Structure 1
Amino acid sequence: MALADLVDHVIGVDPDRDRITAAVVCSRTQGELATKVFATTSRGYGQAMRWAAAHTAAGRRAWSIESTGSYGQA
């Protein structure tokens, strides 16, 4: 079974010390639909979650977070 059979969108996250960059990708076409940069603060993380929810459907999204051994760990 392919990921596109399970979800409509993948949210890719590239975190670093001062900011996270997030992108919404269509799982079927692999095209980027939206991208945005957020601060690595509690407020920034909340904004990122609300932004992702506005661009995707609950239960039909997957997250792909880079650097989960360092900056993406939080």
Structure 2
Amino acid sequence: MIIPMLVLITSLFNSDGPRLFGMPFFYWFQFVFVAVGVLCTWIVYVMTKDKPTTERPDRLSVDELDEGDVK
């Protein structure tokens, strides 16, 4: 949660330099955080894609689901 919070504190990176390929620091720093966020999401996905979400499988049928009927 620290990395997403750093993006919200714009006073930490509100500057023009150093420039990267002519792009001010303010913009390319935010693009770096987008890439870091995508990388973190991908790592979590790869590490958890084969794990079951619960200990026991869900055995509810369609008839047991709440359809929002008001009695």
User: TM-score scaled to structure 1, two decimals?
Assistant: 0.29
Point out the structure with the larger helix share: 2
Structure having greater relative contact order (Cα 8 Å, sep ≥ 6): 1
| Structure with greater Cα Rg | 2
User: TM-score scaled to structure 2, two decimals?
Assistant: 0.30
